[in-house]
Structure 1
């Protein structure tokens, strides 16, 4: 599933022919980087790739005032078919990516266990600050986004809230974790 492909193809399907600069402005207007993993500057290269794949095609040229002539693109029939699949996949596929934090937690240096409470308290504080920053951004964005976009930004907010709750629980469990690392309890062998 490619977020940038979904954004670009759906923008062309919804808005019709346009040039890359207008698409970039649309991404900024919709605050796309705020609720997905698309860097606004990446739209030009992605548009070129989609055109090479036959999902977009040149639809003419446009010139505004003294500005350089800009190439207009439009979505192709194949692009619409791919867009249908991307929309469905985006709603139905579950994306889960392991966090390197978990591996680092299970591979803690026994000689540095005394640093763990400080490291995790700092991580929790930074996560709380990030969540508060996110909440402020959401409130500023609310007048400019639709209901679906609001649910998208709230999804990220809830994931961040879950991370804060998890880290708070982990910090509370640190005495048991450290004791187990220093003196591991017996573990069953896998048959």
Structure 2
């Protein structure tokens, strides 16, 4: 199980990783993330970035290493990672890679509530999503090609993973939508009956009386 962290914002971890390379000021951090294409995997907001850095400093994970001033420009405060920050960074990143977390994506939530919509409408909505995700996948392939031209692969693996997950979702949607359209999906007759009569099928009512284990971790 992953540890409970003092800071839970992934941007905080990202900042610590960059500062482990060299001291930077917040604006430079934002620019570096953009140059490396990280806006596709990390939510970057310049205003919140300052707050993240301040919180990291409050917890002793980063510290001021220098204050620069060039001409009439405002002073720029450079931050570097502390030893405590380095330990937290490595431990946090290791947890994220090794320990699966229940993230509750909104699409998963929507799928869990499908029966409230008619099957035909669900098929149409899934087609809409399929088309939108196909466009997104094509755009991401373009981004990946551009990034791969200027960055080593180790810096774009998260984009590779995102593309793979979109393509996997597309494959699943196509198969599931076909089952709905062809009426070969298990339970679809009861689903149709629910929308035709407005009455909850008896089979569904009986499900509520059964002791069904839906948690994979409890089932092991």
Give the TM-score normalised by the residue count of structure 2: 0.75
Q: CA 1:46 to 1:76, structure 2 compared with 1: closer, same or farther past 3 Å?
A: same
2:43 corresponds to: 38
1:8 corresponds to: 15
Aligned Cα RMSD in Å? 2.3
- Give the number of the structure whose residues are more often helix, by fraction: 1
Using the TM superposition, give the Cα deviation of residue 40 of structure 1 relative to its aligned residue in structure 2, in angstroms. Answer: 4.4
Distance in 1, matches of 2:50 and 2:85, equals 17
Aligned pairs (5 A) from 1:24-63: 24-34=30-40, 36-41=41-46, 42-63=48-69
1:142 corresponds to: 148
Structure 1 residue 181 corresponds to structure 2 residue 191: yes
Structure 1 residue 99 corresponds to structure 2 residue 105: yes
Using the TM superposition, give the Cα deviation of residue 136 of structure 1 relative to its aligned residue in structure 2, in angstroms. Answer: 1.2
Using the TM superposition, give the Cα deviation of residue 47 of structure 1 relative to its aligned residue in structure 2, in angstroms. Answer: 0.6
Partner of 2:33, secondary structure, is helix
Q: CA 1:88 to 1:107, structure 2 compared with 1: closer, same or farther past 3 Å?
A: closer
The 4+ residue runs of structure 1 with deviation greater than 6 A are none
Q: CA 1:117 to 1:31, structure 2 compared with 1: closer, same or farther past 3 Å?
A: same
Q: CA 1:149 to 1:111, structure 2 compared with 1: closer, same or farther past 3 Å?
A: closer
Which of residues 90, 97, 111 in structure 2 aligns to 1:84?
Answer: 90
1:172 corresponds to: 178
Distance in 2, matches of 1:172 and 1:163, equals 14
Q: Aligned pairs, how many?
A: 189
Structure 1 residue 122 corresponds to structure 2 residue 128: yes
